[in-house]
Structure 1
Amino acid sequence: MNDLASAAVPGRTPYDGSVVRAALRRAAPALLAYAAIRLLGIVTLALWSTADGKNWHTLLAARWDALWYTRVAEQGYGYTVALPNGEVHSNLAFFPLLPWLERGLSALTTLSPADAGLLVAWLTSLGAAWALYATGERLHGPRAGVALAALWAALPVGIVQSMAYSEALFTALAAWSLYAVLAGRWLWAGVPASLAGLTRPVGAAVVAAVWLTAAVTLWRERAGGAGLCAGLRRHPGMLSGVLLAPLGWCGFFLWVGARQGSFTGYLDVQEGWGNGFDGGIAFGSFVWHQLSGPTFAAGLALVVGVGLVIWLHVHGVRQGQPLPLAVYGGAVLLLALTAKGYFGSKPRLMLPAYPLLLPLAVALTRGRPVWTWLVVGAAAVGSAVYGAFWLNGSGPP
């Protein structure tokens, strides 16, 4: 089912317990592979951190953005830090779903908000791996599903999936929303899309995928002779899903705007962090600076890396990647590459763009299984070593 028309035909089997259990049994190899790769990353980090005199738990749960999420969970919004260079860092830049979950879990258990955030990340990363398996299985078969989940776990910055950050939670919500679109379950697509919009700014990419897919689906219905109302009747829940999808993202954006006294309040908060979107001008200048100085080799590697991810997106589209995945992957990639701010964070910003890995997953299924696992194993080892090196060094911004 590579095209939207076939993928969007809903099966009428209800989402009852037996269906979920059967789906979980099919996904078990992917979940085990994912968990093994991430466990390798955590063990490697623990060993490296011990040798370096640092605490691996602190690096995962109580550094960088994790501290900001914990502060929102404990104190709410309103905390700011004024820097000597004039920048004002406000915790309004951080979307609320992860802090809400941290606060709720810590209230119901003995976990601290930081440990609750770590638990959320570990559980939702498994949820994301399940959604990736389901997507790969639906489009290209079980081997592709396992390969897709394993490749996502073995990304160079895959360690972020095991941190008290929002990337794992967001990817799980985004992936299940898009899977529901592929299955024609529009209401089920709208709910996680709305929650994804409460998790990260790039939740707008999920909304775009839901809306554009719905628009194209209705346009095709009209081209086939059906009117708007008839098209909506043929796709139950579409209108509800489309209306639900943007509520989380728009709600937080408007709430911050009202709190700041400006419709662009959230954008102003991001500007205070030195972030925002400039069409890639700042990133282009950074790359040129790398290429024109003594760091030419690093700049060349950066150009090659950017070219690779763009090629993966284009290749996936040319292979017939379904519209919701193509729109979402392209939007995440575009937003990451056109954002200002700390350029070392761009690989982390692209972490949720799992559709970029689909061409690689499909390619791995064409060879013998032993070669598939050799490639995945090598990537997992590289990811574990790089993740340990990264977190014991500069780490995520």
Structure 2
Amino acid sequence: MNGSTDVAARERLAVAHAGRGVFGSSALRVGVIYLASRLVTTGFLLLAGALSPPGSRFGPGAGIPTYVLAWDAQWYQRIAAEGYPTVLPLTDAGDVAHNAWAFMPLYPWLSSALGAALGSWGAGAVLIAFAAGYACCIVLRRMLVAKVGEAASLWAVAFFASAPLGAMFQVAYPETLFLLLIMLGIVGLQRRRYGWLYALVPAMAFLRPGVLAFALMLGFFGIGRWISRRREPLRKHEPVHIVALAALATALGLSWPVIAGWVTGRSDAYLQTELSWRRLWMGDEGEFVPFEGWLQAADYWFREWGLDPVWALGAIIVGVAATAALLLFEPHVRRLGMEIRLWAASYLLYLLAVFLPQSSVFRLLFPLSPLWGALAQPRSTTWRVAVLVACLVGQGWWIWNVYGLGNQFWHIP
């Protein structure tokens, strides 16, 4: 075994040791950070309710119980109570209207099971989000500590727990549970332990859209392992697991549209359901062509901002090139390791292919949270405090707009 292989083996061993002692001092420190962040978020939610004007979506003085079950949480609650429609609802124009097929079933069902013991679906849903958020913080520290050290990993946890999307830890959304599965999958790849991914991938597939990005990551990961096989020998079983898992993730990622079509008797049920939300922004132009959504949205937003839409394509190209450069060359990002960078690249490529950029873009970037490890690496206390303050300011702004106001088309989380 050569020197570079020894380095790779030692790094995997360090990652494995970082996962021990779940209830030790590290978990306690993470817990203190997480609970302190949740108190701040609770304060922001209370403040939003106290200051909300009469024209706000949820009315003046709305409380936290209203906020935690708002927006998409209502769809998940409806799925738990009513299931999915067998006949798709239609608008007056004959298009498919908003309906439950846009949302996956695992989270509402889990929330129902836990809520039955707690007395309400909402209590189960919020507890799952809250507990999964803490577990995300634990796993984030584990996956980063061998790469960037203990102090930086804890700062990354602080940034993540206090981030602009901090409300996701306390509302009835599946984002934290989905991110937990993604992080556990990344740790499995870091450790070259593929067995548990056979359980994680099906859960991802029926939690929220995005498992196809994980399938893409597995493809890139397999190519990366092949390229680096001299530095780190490729064990015989690895290609089998990587190919099998990529195939499983792809098949399951495509299964929900098939299920929706089978139940409703309409093969395009899922696609038309998703497009019903896109038409809110694009009108009759809200059809789906891979990668076209960013062009449509850039043109739309440039016009909204009073800018010349001819620059829209150029802005997209520059943005894609800058993001690729960061993932490939920025030293703090590179230090996070191949697996995190491949996930970020795969997920961003997935969003580029299927997403129409609008106000939900902030929430849809939540699965990129392992990248907080890059911002935590500079050892300057001034830098770290400034990032934390920026996170909290962003969180207050987001909560105020989405929950305190919620009365504009760009307030949808």
TM-score by length of 1: 0.80
Q: How does 1:191-202 map to 2 (within 5 A)?
A: 191-202=199-210
Report the Cα distance in structure 1 between the residues aligned to 2:300 and 2:47, rounded to whole angstroms: 36
Aligned to 1:103: 112
Matched, 1:367 2:369: no
Aligned to 1:77: 84
- Is the contact between residue 212 and residue 324 of structure 1 (CA under 8 Å) also seen in structure 2? no
CA shift for structure 1 position 49: 0.2
Match of 2:326 among 315, 322, 325: 315
CA shift for structure 1 position 70: 0.6
Aligned to 1:267: 271
Report the Cα distance in structure 2 between the residues aligned to 1:155 and 1:314, rounded to whole angstroms: 24
Aligned to 2:172: 164
CA RMSD of aligned residues (A): 3.9
Aligned to 1:183: 191
Report the Cα distance in structure 1 between the residues aligned to 2:73 and 2:30, rounded to whole angstroms: 28
Supply the AA of the counterpart residue of 1:252.
W
The 10-residue stretch of structure 1 (321-330 or 274-283) with the greater mean CA deviation from structure 2: 274-283
After superposition, the Cα gap between the structure-2 partners of 1:205 and 1:8, relative to the gap in structure 1 and judged at 3 Å, is farther
Supply the AA of the counterpart residue of 1:34.
Y
- Is the contact between residue 280 and residue 339 of structure 1 (CA under 8 Å) also seen in structure 2? yes
Report the Cα distance in structure 2 between the residues aligned to 1:167 and 1:310, rounded to whole angstroms: 27
- Is the contact between residue 164 and residue 393 of structure 2 (CA under 8 Å) also seen in structure 1? no
Report the Cα distance in structure 2 between the residues aligned to 1:11 and 1:347, rounded to whole angstroms: 35
Report the Cα distance in structure 1 between the residues aligned to 2:150 and 2:241, rounded to whole angstroms: 28
> Could you say what secondary structure the match of 1:88 adopts?
coil
Aligned to 1:352: 367
Percentage identity across paired residues of the two chains:
20
- Is the contact between residue 156 and residue 382 of structure 1 (CA under 8 Å) also seen in structure 2? yes
Aligned to 2:281: none
> Could you say what secondary structure the match of 1:199 adopts?
coil
Q: Deviations over 1:74-126 (max 9, x none)?
A: 1211175433453422211111110111111122x133112211111111111
CA shift for structure 1 position 239: 6.9
Q: Deviations over 1:114-141 (max 9, x none)?
A: 2211111111111112222112212211
After superposition, the Cα gap between the structure-2 partners of 1:234 and 1:246, relative to the gap in structure 1 and judged at 3 Å, is closer
Q: How does 1:50-69 map to 2 (within 5 A)?
A: 50-52=50-52, 53-69=60-76
Structure 2 gaps, min length 5: 53-59, 279-285
The 10-residue stretch of structure 1 (276-285 or 57-66) with the greater mean CA deviation from structure 2: 276-285
Supply the AA of the counterpart residue of 1:316.
L
- Is the contact between residue 48 and residue 403 of structure 2 (CA under 8 Å) also seen in structure 1? no
Q: Deviations over 1:123-178 (max 9, x none)?
A: 11111122221122122111222222222233323323322111111111111111
How many corresponding residue pairs? 382
Q: Deviations over 1:224-278 (max 9, x none)?
A: 898xxx8334789667755655565344343224324466543233234337753
Match of 1:252 among 253, 256, 263: 256
Report the Cα distance in structure 2 between the residues aligned to 1:68 and 1:33, rounded to whole angstroms: 31
Supply the AA of the counterpart residue of 2:302.
L
- Is the contact between residue 97 and residue 276 of structure 2 (CA under 8 Å) also seen in structure 1? yes
Matched, 1:281 2:292: yes
After superposition, the Cα gap between the structure-2 partners of 1:132 and 1:313, relative to the gap in structure 1 and judged at 3 Å, is farther
Report the Cα distance in structure 1 between the residues aligned to 2:219 and 2:45, rounded to whole angstroms: 41
After superposition, the Cα gap between the structure-2 partners of 1:220 and 1:20, relative to the gap in structure 1 and judged at 3 Å, is closer
Aligned to 1:35: 35
Match of 1:94 among 85, 103, 122: 103
CA shift for structure 1 position 68: 0.5
After superposition, the Cα gap between the structure-2 partners of 1:117 and 1:224, relative to the gap in structure 1 and judged at 3 Å, is closer
Supply the AA of the counterpart residue of 1:255.
I
CA shift for structure 1 position 307: 6.7
Matched, 1:386 2:395: no
Matched, 1:328 2:336: no
Supply the AA of the counterpart residue of 1:372.
R
Match of 2:388 among 376, 379, 390: 376
Report the Cα distance in structure 2 between the residues aligned to 1:59 and 1:295, rounded to whole angstroms: 36
Structure 1 gaps, min length 5: none
Supply the AA of the counterpart residue of 1:384.
G
After superposition, the Cα gap between the structure-2 partners of 1:289 and 1:216, relative to the gap in structure 1 and judged at 3 Å, is closer
- Is the contact between residue 329 and residue 354 of structure 1 (CA under 8 Å) also seen in structure 2? no
Report the Cα distance in structure 2 between the residues aligned to 1:312 and 1:24, rounded to whole angstroms: 37
Report the Cα distance in structure 2 between the residues aligned to 1:307 and 1:157, rounded to whole angstroms: 26
Q: Deviations over 1:165-212 (max 9, x none)?
A: 111111111111111111111112332233112111112112322343
Aligned to 1:6: 8
CA shift for structure 1 position 383: 1.4
After superposition, the Cα gap between the structure-2 partners of 1:172 and 1:22, relative to the gap in structure 1 and judged at 3 Å, is closer
> Could you say what secondary structure the match of 1:21 adopts?
coil
TM-score by length of 2: 0.77
